[in-house]
C-alpha cells in the first residue's frame, strides 16, 4: 500500500512524505519531496546487537547523485566517488539530532542513508533528509524516541522566512537550521551576519512552530502504518558489584577531580580504575570493562554534583569564568599571516595564505556554486590530546569543525572587489581540552588581520555547557572537554562586538527550551566580549600592508574580445609575459585581469604589456615595434599589442632602399608610425615619416650602376 501525506509550510511550499512504494526491504523508507527536490531516506537495523561495545553504533550517510542535478561527474572516473565536504556536513546534520534519541543499552547497528535523487537548485535538500530520517525511524521497528523535525529559517528584509530559496538565502542575514522534538529544541546550526542574540532566539522560535506541524504529521503517519518497536533489554546491573566498586573508587575519584590539569587528572582516574581491580582481587578478574564503566559513571555523577550543589567546576572556575588566554601574532616569519591562540589547555596555531583568484577551491557537486575564494581547514592531530594513532585524511569531525569556523569568519570577510585574493586559513590544533573549534575562530581572526586582510571586525568564539540536575539548571561558560563529555549541551557561539556570526548546538538531554537558549546566549555574549578584549591587545585591526612574501595583486579590465590577444595562440603571449616579468596572471571571462607579483616592478611591467596588447591603434600613433620577418617588399613589424603591421620598403627611409636587409633585420627594434588601417584591419606603417629629411644620407649605388632604364612611355 502506498501512503502519502502533505504538509503546507507557507504559500507554494508543500512538504510531501510518501511511503510503501520503494525500498521495502529496509526497516523504514521514506520518499520526501519539496519543490522538485526528491530525497529517499532509509533506515536499517542489524538483527543482533554488537558485542563488547559501550556506545551506540549509528552510521549516517548522505549520498549525492550527480544525475539529480543533470550533471556528469568531473574527472577521469565518471561515477560518484568519496562524499564531498557538503555531503559529510549534511550527514552530520542528520546524525546530531537523532543520535541522542535511542534508548540506553541499545547496541544494534543502525544505518541511515539519505540519497538525493532530484535537485531543483531552488531549495536545499538537506532539510528533507533530516525529516525523512526521523519518519523512516518512526515508522520502522527500530527503537527511536522521536519524532523530530527540522526547518531552515532565513531573515529577508527584516522578516523571517521558512525554508527560503537559494536566492532568498543570498539576501538573508540568517541561515539557520533548527531541529526539535514536540517538547523543545534538539539541534541548532546557523550562520549570520552579526545578528543579535535575541533575534537568533526569535528565529528559532519561529522555526519551532513549523517543526511542531511536521511532527504532528509524522505522528499521524506512525499511528496508521508504524511497526511495533523491538524490545530493548536494559543492561543487567549487578547492584552489589556496583556499590562495591563505587565504595572502593569514591575517595580516589574525588581526589582526581581536585586536579586541575587534564593530563594529570586523566592519569589519576586511570590509576583509580587499576587500584579498584587490584582491591577486588582475582574473584572479579575479567570484569575490567564493568569497573571502568562504573568508575566513569561515578566521575560523571560527582563532577555534575559539585557543579550544581557546590558551584565548583573541575578546574576551580565559577560558572562564568573564562580560562586564562594568551594571544600572539606574526610568530611564523615566512607565512603571510599567523597567530597562536591559547585558552587554558586548548591551543590553536593558525596561518593565513594569500593566493591568486585562480587558486580558489573548485566545487564539483550538486550545488550551483562552482568555487569558493575563502577556505578554512582544521587539523586535529593525535598529539593534541596525548594519543597515538595513525594520521589519515580529515575525518567528519575535522570537516565539521572547519566548516563551523569558516562560517563564523565568512560574515566579516571583504568582498572580492575590496580584496581580490583567494584566502586559505589553516588551523593546527596543538593542544585540546574543550572548544578547539572556537579557538580556531579566534586564531583565524587574528591570523587574517596579521596578513592584512581587511576584516570588517574581529570574531571570537566560545563554547557553552549545560548541567541539568533535578529542578536545577546551570549554564557553563567556556567548557572543558570533561564538561562537554559529561554535560548536557555543547553550544558553540561565535560573533563580533555587534552580533552573532555562527551557532552550533548539540544536546544529550531529550530537549531544551528557548528560554534556556536565550540565557546561554546572553552569558556567551559576556564571555565573547572578554575574549575579544584579550585578542585586541595582540592585534586590534588589520595590518596596513601585506607580508613581503605575499603576492601583490593588480586588477585591471580588458574588453572580453581582447582576451584571446592576451593569451595568444597556444598561450604563447601570456606565457611570454609571465616569463619576462615573473608574475602570475588570471583572466576571468568578463575581462577582469588579476596580476600577482612579489615585486611591484614586475606587476607594473606586466600591466603595461597587457595595456599595450589590448590597445587599439589609430592613424598617426607612434610606436616601438620589433621586426619579426622580412620580404622583398618590406618588413613585418610586431607592435606592442601583438599585432603585426607592414613597413613597406618605400616607407623605410626617404632615400631609395634596394634591399630590406640593407637596413633592417629580424629582431631589430624600430620606431614606426601608423600610416593607415584598411577596411580589413591591416596596419600599414611608416618609418621615414619619423626621419627628418635633413638627415637623409646620399643614396648608395653600385659601381656599375647606370641609371634606371625607361620603357619610353
Question: For residue 110, with 0-12 CB atoms within 10 Å meaning exposed, 13-18 middle and 19 or more buried, which class applies?
Answer: buried
CATH 1.10.10.400 describes domain 239-310: yes
Residue 75 confidence (pLDDT) above 80: no
Cα 164-181-226 angle, rounded to 5 deg: 105
> 707 pLDDT exceeds 50?
no
For residue 710, is pLDDT > 50?
Answer: no
How many residues does this entry show for the chain? 713
Report the 3 state secondary structure along 565-628: HHHCHHHHHHHHHHHHHCCEEEECCCCEEEEEECCHHHHHHHHHHHHHHCCCCCCCCEEEEEEE
CB atoms within 10 A of CB 258: 13
178 burial level (CB within 10 Å; 0-12, 13-18, 19+): buried
pLDDT of residue 481: 93
| pLDDT, position 611 | 87
pLDDT confidence of residue 703: 45
Average confidence score pLDDT of the chain: 91
For residue 681, pLDDT over 50 is answered with: yes
Q: Which residues of 660-675 are buried (b: 16+ CB within 10 A; e: fewer)?
A: beebbeeeeebebbbb
Determine how many CB atoms are found less than 10 A away from the CB of residue 684: 18
pLDDT tens digits for range 520-533: 999 999 999 999 99
Q: Does the pLDDT of residue 702 top 60, yes or no?
A: no
Q: What residues contact residue 395 under an 8 Å CB cut-off, 6+ apart?
A: none
Query: The whole model's pTM is what?
Result: 0.85
The reported pLDDT for the residue numbered 709 is 41
Question: Which whole-number Å values give the CA distances from 663 to 627, 646, 692, in the listed order?
Answer: 11, 15, 17
Please tell me if the domain spanning 3-225 has the same topology as the one spanning 622-695.
no
Per-residue cell: 80? 560518484
Helix, strand, coil in percent for the chain, rounding step 5: 35, 30, 35
Write out the three cell numbers for 569: 595562440
What are the grid coordinates assigned to 703, written together? 659601381
pLDDT in tens, 143-168: 999 899 999 999 999 999 999 999 99
> Does pLDDT of 694 surpass 70?
no
Rounded CA-CA distance 598/582 in Å is: 8
Q: What confidence score (pLDDT) does residue 5 get?
A: 94
Joined grid coordinates for residue 538: 595582540
Are the C-beta atoms of residues 41 and 35 closer than 8 Å to each other? Answer: no
pLDDT at residue 701 greater than cutoff 60: no
DSSP string computed for 4-30: EEEEE-STT-EEEEEESSS-TTSSEEE
Q: Which pLDDT score is estimated for 73?
A: 85
Summarize the confidence of residues 39-48 as an average pLDDT.
96
pLDDT at 706 over 70: no
Residue 593, pLDDT > 70, answer yes
| Residue 640 φ then ψ, to 5° | -55, -25
Given a cut of 70, whether residue 699 has pLDDT beyond it is no
Which H helix or E strand runs over 109?
strand 108-118
Q: Which residue from 328, 319, 333 is spatially nearest to 347, judged by alpha carbons?
A: 328
8 A C-beta contact, residue 142 and residue 45 = yes
Q: Is the pLDDT of residue 368 over 70?
A: no
Least confident of 459-468, 483-492, 633-642: 633-642
Least confident of 128-132, 209-213, 593-597, 641-645: 641-645
pLDDT of 229 over the 80 cut: yes
401 vs 153, 404, 428, 575, CA distance in Å?
22, 5, 12, 40
Q: Which three three-digit cell numbers place residue 711?
A: 620603357
The answer to whether 192 and 500 have CB atoms below 8 angstroms apart is yes
Percent of the chain with pLDDT over 70: 97
Could you tell me the three cell numbers for 605?
611591467
Mean pLDDT of 239-245: 92
Instruction: Please determine, looking at this structure, whether the domain spanning 3-225 carries the CATH number 3.40.630.10.
Output: no
The residue whose grid cell reads 603595461 is: 608
The whole-number pLDDT of residue 224 equals 94
Which triple of cell numbers denotes residue 392? 589519515
For residue 247, the model assigns a pLDDT of 94
Q: What pLDDT is stored for residue 510 in this prediction?
A: 82
Q: What is the 3-state secondary structure (H, E, C) of 180-217?
A: ECCCCEEEEEEEEEEECHHHHHHHHHHHHHHHHHHHHH
For 381-410, write each residue's pLDDT tens digit: 999 999 999 988 889 999 999 999 999 999
5-19 tens-digit pLDDT: 999 998 889 999 999
pLDDT per residue as tens digits for the range 611-669: 888 888 889 989 899 999 999 999 999 888 778 899 999 999 998 888 999 899 999 99
Q: What is the DSSP letter of 357?
A: G
CA distance 385 to 394: 16
What confidence tier does 369 reach under pLDDT thresholds 50, 70, 90? Answer: low
CATH match of 552-613 with 3.40.50.300:
no
CATH top-level class of 622-695: mainly beta
Q: What is the SS3 string spanning 325-345?
A: EEEEECCCCCCCEEEEEEECC
pLDDT tens string 261-305: 999 999 999 999 999 999 998 888 888 888 999 999 999 999 999
Helix (H) or strand (E) segment spanning residue 32: strand 28-34
Q: What is the pLDDT of residues 405-454, one digit of tens each?
A: 999 999 999 998 899 899 999 999 999 998 999 999 999 999 999 999 99
Rounded CA-CA distance 47/382 in Å is: 35
Q: What is the DSSP letter of 663?
A: T
**Residue (of 173, 200, 167, 194) closest to 412 by Cα position:** 194
**Distance in angstroms (rounded) separating the CA atoms of residues 539 and 330:** 10
What CATH number has the domain spanning 325-538? Answer: 3.30.230.70
**Do 205 and 194 meet the contact criterion of CB atoms below 8 Å apart?**
no
Domain boundaries along the sequence of the chain: 3-225, 239-310, 325-538, 552-613, 622-695
Q: Which residue has the higher pLDDT, 419 or 470?
A: 419
Mean of pLDDT values over 313-323 = 94
SS3 of 122-174: the string is CCCCHHHHHHHHHHHHHHCCCCCCCCCEEEEEEEECCEEEECCCHHHHHHCCE
SS (H, E, C) 369-429: CCEECEEEEEECCHHHHCCCCCCCCCCHHHHHHHHHHHHHHHCCCCCCCCCCCEEEEEEEE
Q: Where does 442-557 show beta strands of DSSP type E?
A: 460-469, 472-477, 489-495, 500-507, 552-557
| Orientation angle between helical segments 197-225 and 514-538, nearest 10 degrees | 140
Is the pLDDT at 712 greater than 60? The verdict is no
Amino acid at each position: 500500500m502506498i501512503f502519502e501525506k502533505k504538509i503546507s509550510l507557507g504559500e507554494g511550499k508543500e512538504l510531501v512524505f510518501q511511503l510503501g512504494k520503494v525500498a521495502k526491504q529496509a526497516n523504514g523508507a521514506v520518499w520526501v519531496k519539496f519543490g522538485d527536490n526528491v530525497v529517499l531516506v532509509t533506515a536499517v537495523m542489524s538483527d543482533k546487537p554488537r558485542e563488547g561495545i559501550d556506545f551506540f553504533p549509528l552510521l549516517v550517510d548522505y549520498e549525492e547523485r550527480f544525475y539529480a542535478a543533470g550533471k556528469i561527474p568531473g574527472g577521469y572516473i565518471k561515477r560518484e566517488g568519496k562524499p564531498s565536504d557538503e555531503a559529510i556536513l549534511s550527514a552530520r546534520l542528520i546524525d546530531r539530532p537523532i543520535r541522542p534519541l535511542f534508548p540506553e543499552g541499545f547496541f544494534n547497528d543502525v544505518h541511515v542513508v539519505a540519497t538525493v535523487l532530484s535537485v531543483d537548485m531552488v531549495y536545499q535538500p538537506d532539510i528533507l533528509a533530516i525529516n525523512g530520517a526521523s519518519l523512516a525511524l518512526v515508522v520502522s521497528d527500530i527503537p527511536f524516541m522521536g519524532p523530530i523535525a527540522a526547518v531552515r529559517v532565513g531573515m529577508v528584509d527584516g522578516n523571517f522566512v521558512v525554508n527560503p530559496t537559494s536566492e532568498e538565502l543570498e539576501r538573508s542575514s540568517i541561515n539557520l537550521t533548527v531541529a526539535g522534538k514536540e517538547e523543545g529544541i534538539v539541534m541548532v546550526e546557523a550562520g549570520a551576519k552579526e545578528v543579535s542574540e535575541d533575534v537568533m532566539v526569535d528565529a528559532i522560535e519561529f522555526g519551532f512552530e513549523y517543526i511542531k506541524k511536521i511532527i504532528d504529521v509524522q505522528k499521524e503517519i506512525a499511528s496508521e502504518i508504524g511497526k511495533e518497536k523491538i524490545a530493548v533489554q536494559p543492561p543487567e546491573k549487578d547492584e552489589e558489584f556496583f556499590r562495591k566498586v563505587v565504595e572502593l573508587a569514591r575517595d580516589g575519584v574525588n581526589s582526581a577531580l581536585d586536579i586541575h590539569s587534564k593530563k594529570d587528572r586523566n592519569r589519576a582516574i586511570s590509576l583509580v580504575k587499576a587500584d579498584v581491580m587490584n582491591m577486588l582481587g582475582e574473584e572479579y578478574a575479567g570484569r575490567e570493562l564493568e569497573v571502568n564503566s562504573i568508575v566513569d559513571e561515578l566521575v560523571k555523577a560527582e563532577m555534575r554534583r559539585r557543579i550544581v550543589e557546590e558551584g565548583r567546576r573541575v578546574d576551580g572556575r565559577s560558572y562564568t569564568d573564562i580560562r586564562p588566554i594568551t594571544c600572539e601574532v606574526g610568530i611564523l616569519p615566512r607565512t603571510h599571516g599567523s597567530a597562536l591562540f591559547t585558552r587554558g589547555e586548548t591551543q590553536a596555531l593558525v596561518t593565513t595564505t594569500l593566493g591568486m583568484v585562480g587558486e580558489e577551491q573548485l566545487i564539483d557537486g550538486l550545488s550551483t556554486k562552482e568555487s569558493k575564494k575563502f577556505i578554512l581547514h582544521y587539523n586535529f592531530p593525535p598529539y593534541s590530546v596525548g594519543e597515538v594513532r595513525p594520521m589519515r585524511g580529515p575525518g567528519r569531525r575535522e570537516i565539521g569543525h572547519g566548516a563551523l569556523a569558516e562560517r563564523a569568519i565568512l560574515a566579516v570577510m571583504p568582498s572580492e572587489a575590496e580584496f581580490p585574493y583567494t584566502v586559505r586559513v589553516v588551523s593546527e590544533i596543538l593542544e585540546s581540552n574543550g572548544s578547539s573549534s572556537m579557538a580556531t575562530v579566534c586564531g583565524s581572526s587574528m591570523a587574517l588581520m596579521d596578513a592584512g586582510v581587511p576584516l570588517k571586525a574581529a570574531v571570537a568564539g566560545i563554547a557553552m555547557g549545560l548541567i541539568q540536575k533535578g529542578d536545577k539548571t546551570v549554564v557553563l561558560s567556556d567548557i572543558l572537554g570533561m564538561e562537554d563529555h559529561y554535560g548536557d549541551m555543547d553550544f558553540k557561539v561565535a560573533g563580533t562586538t555587534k552580533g552573532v556570526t555562527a551557532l552550533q548546538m548539540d544536546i544529550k538531554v531529550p530537549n531544551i527550551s528557548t528560554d534556556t537558549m536565550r540565557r546561554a546566549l546572553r552569558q556567551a555574549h559576556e564571555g565573547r566580549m572578554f575574549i575579544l578584549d584579550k585578542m585586541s591587545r595582540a592585534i586590534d585591526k588589520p595590518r596596513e600592508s601585506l607580508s613581503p612574501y605575499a603576492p601583490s595583486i593588480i586588477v585591471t579590465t580588458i574588453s572580453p574580445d581582447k582576451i584571446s590577444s592576451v593569451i595568444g595562440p597556444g598561450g604563447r603571449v601570456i606565457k611570454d609575459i609571465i616569463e619576462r616579468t615573473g608574475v602570475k596572471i588570471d583572466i576571468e571571462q568578463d575581462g577582469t585581469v588579476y596580476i600577482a607579483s612579489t615585486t611591484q616592478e614586475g606587476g607594473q611591467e606586466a600591466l603595461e604589456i597587457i595595456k599595450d596588447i589590448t590597445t587599439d591603434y589609430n592613424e598617426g600613433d607612434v610606436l616601438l615595434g620589433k621586426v619579426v620577418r622580412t620580404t622583398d617588399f618590406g618588413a613585418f613589424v610586431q607592435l606592442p599589442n601583438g599585432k603585426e603591421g607592414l613597413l613597406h620598403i618605400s616607407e623605410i627611409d626617404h632615400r631609395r632602399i634596394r634591399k630590406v636587409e640593407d637596413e633592417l633585420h629580424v629582431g631589430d627594434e624600430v620606431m614606426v608610425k601608423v600610416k593607415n588601417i584598411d577596411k580589413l584591419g591591416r596596419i600599414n606603417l611608416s618609418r621615414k615619416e619619423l626621419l627628418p629629411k635633413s638627415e637623409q644620407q646620399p643614396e648608395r649605388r653600385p659601381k656599375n650602376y647606370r641609371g634606371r632604364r625607361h620603357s619610353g612611355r
